Amino acid sequence: MLDKIVIFALPLAISSILQQLFNAADLAVVGRFASSEAMAAVGSNSSVIGLLISFFIGLSVGANALIAMEIGRGRNDQIKETVHTVIAVSLIAGIALVFIGFFISKPILILMGAPQNVMSLAIVYLRIYFLGMPAVMIYNYGSAILRSKGDSKRPLYAMMIAGVINILLNLLFVVVFHLHVIGVALATVLSNMFSAGLVLSFLVTEEEPFRLEFKKLSIKKKYLIRMMKIGLPAGLQGAVFSLSNVVIQSAVNSFGADAIAGSTAATNFDFISYCAMSAFAQSAVTFTSQNYGACNFDRCKKVFRICMLCGIGVSATVVFLLVTFRYQAIQLFTTDQAVTEFAMKRIMTAFVLHFLIGSYEISGGALRGMNHSLAPAVISIFGTCVFRLIYVFTYIPSHHTFEALFRVYPISWVITGTVTLSVYFIVRNKEFRKIADRK
């Protein structure tokens, strides 16, 4: 089973990293070829973007788990109807986000206290970025369908090609046409459209019951409810988590444009480590769902052990490498000394313990695979969101330093991981006994 999980997780990790590198490429190009203000304008939007799309992306977790369970039960007719419901939901969500993003871009950036010297650029970037939301939703939901059947390679291929297109367009628009923030936003939108188009082409030529037929697109209530039962808590968790990051970003903004740019550059370290670990959390959802649907409990336990060891191990390795070569890596984004100093502070305060996230992400993924999505969501909301908000509003006013602000992350990881792991073992034992008694 180890080889199957690794073969599934590796393309998933690379795909997630490449998707994150869209924003990293934007930062690198504007940081090297434009200005620190342009870099801060792009960076100040990362938490806003996460807040607005996390809810809808969370629903794709429900789609993955739901289809995987039906595969384990061998229900082909229900798989087909679920596929068309999932894609219909992705289209509606993407279109809704286009309008939501346009109208709230300026108010939310003002609310966050974005510096005036980056405000206009940040608004332009955010509004253009959200024009590509239908493509982002289609790619993520379509990829969830493919991954539910164990295919994590083709979403990777789509993202790899789109990533190359994104970098080339960034250089063309910024270096050649001097479009700066507008250029990197357009490059991201166009590359997202390409990756979404490829995923759709995979689905329309897929074998039954996974084949997509546009004339059959509809939302079946029973499948939507089941998808939301699993995905809605994950989506709410992501949205509230992003809200806490918006508050923390607001605190970062108080340190000025250099702090924003430095923190944003260092955030890419977090995302790379997270993507490497998250691939095994998503693997835990898929493999646990399939084996749970087939009532193979021993394999469910084995999936958890493998995913936890591999996820934390890979994340710890990434952390070690990036911390060791942190100065060289930051130079990809900026050569400004003040910006670099802020980036180093964030890395050495929070990122060095980033692998601890695996303790609650992977155990939470296993819980969702057993159709228990609410518990990990509630724990994460209180452990990584509510706690951080309390910390920022009560501790930071009297300890207003950049390092003190980012200490909130490792503290919240330890709290959330401890509780989620405990709940996982309690729920697992109870659930397996209950189903065994029915037999």
pLDDT tens, 196-248? 999 999 999 998 888 999 988 988 888 888 888 877 777 777 777 777 777 88
Tell me phi and psi for residue 76, to 5 degrees: -65, -40
pTM, rounded to two decimals:
0.72
Residue 128: helix, strand or coil by DSSP?
helix
pLDDT given for residue 211 in this prediction = 92
Q: What is the dihedral of CA 283, 286, 287, 293, to 10 degrees?
A: 160
> Which of 417, 404, 374, 28 lies closest to 187 in space, CA to CA?
28
CA distances to 13, 144, 212, 410 from 216, in Å: 32, 19, 8, 47
Cβ–Cβ under 8 Å, residues 199 and 70: no
> Which of 369, 363, 353 lies closest to 422 in space, CA to CA?
363
pLDDT given for residue 403 in this prediction = 92
Distance of alpha carbon 191 from alpha carbon 342, whole angstroms: 31
* Helix, strand, coil percent content, the chain, rounded in steps of 5: 85, 0, 15
Structure tokens at 342: 């802020």
pLDDT given for residue 21 in this prediction = 65
pLDDT tens, 307-320? 999 999 999 999 99
Tell me phi and psi for residue 63, to 5 degrees: -65, -45
For the chain, the structural domain boundaries read: 2-432
Tell me phi and psi for residue 259, to 5 degrees: -65, -40
pLDDT given for residue 439 in this prediction = 56
pLDDT given for residue 194 in this prediction = 94
pLDDT given for residue 36 in this prediction = 65
pLDDT given for residue 22 in this prediction = 63
Cβ–Cβ under 8 Å, residues 12 and 283: yes
**Amino acid at site 427:** V
pLDDT given for residue 401 in this prediction = 92
**Amino acid at site 174:** V
Tell me phi and psi for residue 113, to 5 degrees: 75, 35
Q: Mean pLDDT of all residues in the chain? A: 84
**Amino acid at site 335:** T
Distance of alpha carbon 44 from alpha carbon 409, whole angstroms: 19
Q: What is the pLDDT along the chain (439 residues), one digit of tens a residue?
A: 788 888 878 877 777 777 666 666 676 777 667 666 776 777 666 666 666 666 666 677 778 777 877 787 777 888 888 899 989 989 998 999 899 888 888 887 787 677 777 788 888 888 898 899 999 999 989 998 998 888 888 988 898 898 889 889 988 998 888 888 888 889 989 999 999 999 999 999 998 888 999 988 988 888 888 888 877 777 777 777 777 777 888 888 888 888 888 888 888 788 888 888 888 988 898 899 888 877 888 888 999 999 999 999 999 999 999 999 998 988 887 788 888 999 999 999 999 999 999 999 999 989 988 888 888 888 988 888 889 989 999 999 998 899 999 999 999 999 999 999 999 999 998 888 876 666 5
pLDDT given for residue 169 in this prediction = 92
In what helix (H) or strand (E) does residue 437 lie, and over which residues does it extend? helix 408-438
Query: Alpha helix (H) ranges present in 112-173?
Result: 116-130, 133-148, 153-171
Cβ–Cβ under 8 Å, residues 40 and 118: yes
